[in-house]
Chain A
Amino acid sequence: MLSRTAENLFWMARYMERAESTARLLTMGQRMAILPAATMRDEWRSVVRVTGCEDAFGKDAIIRESDIVEHLMLDPDNPASIRSCLARARQNGKSVRTALTQEMWESLNEGWRKLETYGVADARRDFAELVDWVKNRAMMFRGATESSHLRNEGHDFLRAGGALERAQMTLRLLDVKYYVLLPETEVVGGHRDHYQWTSVLHALSGSRAYHHVYGGSYSPWQITDFLMLNRQFPRSVLYCFDQLAYRLQRLAHWHGQRTPANLRGEEMVEALAQTSSGAIFEKGLHETIQSKIVQCNMLGQEIAEAYHFG
């Protein structure tokens, strides 16, 4: 397979996943921000921070929902906006049309200009509908891939890209919770803290699954355990790492040769599988998340080197 094709497939899946994750992030931010007496206004700033877009706003500026909608959903010049991600996923797909099935292309192509027609006010009004639309695009893309794409080398690059991006986004969503500090009058495990944690679960469509695993009660430790270490929940970090290692192993098989990426992928799985949520909180949730994000970035680079990306 052409290196360029592999690279485009890898990034196409990443952008699609990123568009969806950003949509989920916006849902979470909105849920947190509508809490009564959300006076600190840190909710939206934390969202901006984890997307790496904080520089676009003043250090002390109050960030409102309309800013977020404009910047993270609609802005064609912000590479992290949902609109940019969808456009780039489509562009990646278009430049490797021959490596996609008709259904996959249609899922990228249909309605791709929808966000162009929206102004900020309308997008706020239709917020829930738009977020659902983005999620549906991503689901349709994955469904088309699942049911029509040849299980060849390209498929593994696609899935590896998706898994890498998803792991990073789950890590980032958890980090939002870290950034959103509790007011001094609140206690950890209190009403507000509880609501913030459940917002993370909700954004990851994990509420029901969480209950099946842990029963009716919420706790930060259990939620962290679920989102970081559960091997069955498809958005947990460890699940995504497992997927990554598996896809890299298949790629090594196709090429008859292991690469440094294989080793790192397996080490990432190993290290995470042997830890516990208790240990994570002891070391510091934020610190753990940051080091995992760094590992993901390094793995991304190693994959690019191993398979001669541009």
Chain B
Amino acid sequence: MTFSEMLGDAGEIRDCYAVIQQWVEETGIEGLHRRLGEAEAIFRRIGITFAVYGEGGDPERLIPFDLLPRIFTAMEWQRLEAGIRQRAAALNAFLLDVYNRGEIIRAGIVPADIVYQNKAYKPEMAGFTPPGRVYSHIVGIDIVRTSLSDFMVLEDNCRTPSGVSYMLENREIMTRMFPELFALERVAPVDDYPSQLLKSLQEVAPPACKDKPQVVVLTPGAFNSAYYEHSYLADLMGVELVEPADLFVDEGLVYMKTTSGPRRVDVIYRRIDDDFLDPLAFRPDSMLGVPGLFNAYRGGGVTLCSAPGAGIADDKAVYVYVPEMIRFYLGETAILQNVPTWQCGLPDHYAYVMDHLPELVVKEVHGSGGYGMLIGPQASAEEVATYAERIRANPAEFIAQPTLDLSTSPTLGPSGLVQRHVDFRPYCLVGKEIRLVPGGLTRVALAEGSLVVNSSQGGGVKDTWVLR
């Protein structure tokens, strides 16, 4: 049976949701709708939008916002936090290892092929150790829940996980609209995130940096779907938001073009994919990018966050080995479980997947954002058959997972509360130490019964409360 975040085993309201229950009763559904209208007007005015490429429609649409928060108890959070920190540490240890000695491969735990033959693996990074031995500075871990006690990691995001601006904005809107809910001070604050992010970025300044590190956020530009977030984070950290054309490299150091001439840059929080960072090192046809940037990085003149090639750690084919990594590098047992996963590249897994397609969720190894997925139970026979052809043509490009019975959270529907599936993405910061604010982004699948929560697929967002 589907676990409801709000209800206990016997159908009673869980203690942590009591305040919400009371609030809904006092406000009434009509009252909630009115407040939702106000909240949306604020979002629209501020201009928090999320553009989706290639889907037509409104290029500046809003992500739907749901008023009812998703709530974790202090106990639940304690466990989640420990599991997230553990995972972020192991993923960074893995990156250091595969770009240097490769011990986990020599130990026969992770197959060499899925690392060295992987598109996300950057041979240019081999033998180079980034400042502080950190590769992935912001680790976004997608977590789902299937019962009161079962949290599972669905996916790791080690490159440039997005969405943290929604965590902050959702909270901002909630405190603005419902100050009385926060007056009790039971909800742990998340507004410290930008300063923790800045601290983490400053801690990984390159060897060439002698003064206070100059941090910038690098965006592809205002047309990028996550541009709002880029500018928002730069704003809250009080650093420059730069585009590639604002930067240049001279004698191994990176500068930005200012009205009073060149100015040194030490740490770049880049929100641009590896391939587009530097046309000299990666894709020569990239119109974006800063020529010479990668050399400056390897020479210790600048730090790139995250490191190029960090994507190998969040690859879906590598994902299955994360519990092993935790054991191998940290000598610990994984606190958060993986979702059982079949790799279509392995013969026996392949056979199982092909026999059970209508029950499974199949994903492309390199896909992201909910694109190119097969959700077996919701697909037609033709869709399943067409997808089967794709898997047959290239088995190693696919993984499959059982359809999980994701927990549901109460959500405001047209005529009352409805139960909708949710997931959760916390943002773990890695500098000299590992930092985590008590919260994250809860995404909600707004269509009844839907399991797809991605914002690019019409999912919505909720505030996430961690109770003290």
Contact = CB atoms under 8 A, between A and B. Distances in A.
Interface residues of A, number: 25
B274 interface: no
Contacts of B258: 1-3, 308
B221 A308 contact: no
B241 A98 contact: yes
A109 B231 contact: no
Nearest to A157: B259
Contacts of A97: 228, 231-232, 235, 241
A295 interface: no
A2 B240 contact: yes
B246 interface: yes
A95 interface: yes
Given A91-B222, A105-B47, A109-B47, A3 B231 contact: no
Given A102-B46, A106-B45, A109-B47, A307 B259 contact: yes
Contacts of B243: 4, 95
Contact of B231 (A2, A6, A98): A98
A105 B241 CA distance: 16
Nearest to A97: B231
Interface in A226-270: 251, 254-255
Given A2-B240, A106-B46, A109-B45, A98 B259 contact: no
Interface centre among A1, A4, A6, A254 (most CB of B within 10 A): A4
B222 A2 contact: no
A110 interface: yes
A94 interface: yes
Contacts of B235: 97-98
Contact of A4 (B46, B47, B231, B257): B257
A4 B245 contact: yes
A2 B227 contact: no
A152 to B, nearest CB: 11
Nearest to B239: A98
Interface in B180-235: 221-222, 227-228, 231-232, 234-235
A308 B257 contact: yes
B284 to A, nearest CB: 23
A310 B243 CA distance: 12
B374 to A, nearest CB: 37
Chain A's interface: helix, strand, loop or mixed, by majority? helix
A157 B100 CA distance: 49
Nearest to A251: B259
Contacts of A105: 46-47
A109 B246 CA distance: 25
Given A4-B245, A98-B231, A98-B235, A153 B240 contact: no
B256 interface: yes
A1 B259 contact: yes
Nearest to B232: A97
B260 A2 contact: no
Contacts of A254: 260
A251 B260 CA distance: 10
Interface in B242-265: 242-243, 245-246, 256-261
A6 B261 CA distance: 13
B259 A6 contact: yes
Contacts of A109: 45-47
Contacts of A102: 46
A148 to B, nearest CB: 14
Most chain B CB within 10 A, of A6, A153, A308, A310, is at A308
Interface string A81-110: 000000000010011111000100110011
Given A95-B222, A308-B259, A4 B45 contact: no
A46 to B, nearest CB: 37
A307 B260 CA distance: 7
B98 to A, nearest CB: 36
A108 to B, nearest CB: 9
A1 B245 CA distance: 15
Nearest to A7: B259
Contacts of A307: 259
Contacts of B242: 2
Interface centre among B46, B47, B241 (most CB of A within 10 A): B47
Contacts of B257: 2-4, 308
Contacts of B227: 94
B45 A94 contact: no
B168 to A, nearest CB: 14
Nearest to A256: B260
Contacts of B260: 254-255
B234 A4 contact: no
A303 to B, nearest CB: 10
Given A97-B241, A98-B241, A102-B46, A153 B221 contact: no
A10 to B, nearest CB: 10
Contact of B240 (A94, A98, A251): A98
B222 A98 contact: no
Contacts of A251: 259
Interface in A1-49: 1-6
Nearest to A309: B259
A153 B45 contact: no
A185 B246 CA distance: 61
Specify which of A95, A105, A153, A254 lies most central, judged by the most chain B CB atoms within 10 Å of its CB: A95
Given A102-B46, A106-B46, A109-B47, A94 B259 contact: no
Interface in A268-310: 307-308, 310
A94 B222 contact: yes
A157 to B, nearest CB: 8
A140 to B, nearest CB: 12
A2 B234 contact: no
Contacts of A255: 259-260
Contacts of A308: 257-259, 261
A291 to B, nearest CB: 29
A229 to B, nearest CB: 32
Contacts of A157: 259
A70 to B, nearest CB: 24
A94 B241 CA distance: 12
Interface in A103-138: 105-106, 109-110
Nearest to B216: A2
A4 B246 contact: yes
B247 to A, nearest CB: 10
A2 B256 contact: yes
A255 B259 CA distance: 8
A82 to B, nearest CB: 20
B259 A95 contact: no
17 contacts: A1-B258, A2-B257, A5-B240, A91-B222, A94-B227, A95-B221, A95-B222, A96-B241, A97-B232, A97-B241, A98-B234, A98-B241, A109-B45, A110-B45, A251-B259, A307-B259, A310-B245
Given A2-B259, A94-B222, 8 more contacts: A1-B258, A1-B259, A95-B222, A97-B231, A98-B241, A105-B46, A251-B259, A308-B257
Q: Which 8 interchain pairs have the tightest Cβ spacing?
A: A97-B231, A95-B222, A307-B259, A109-B47, A98-B241, A94-B222, A3-B257, A98-B235
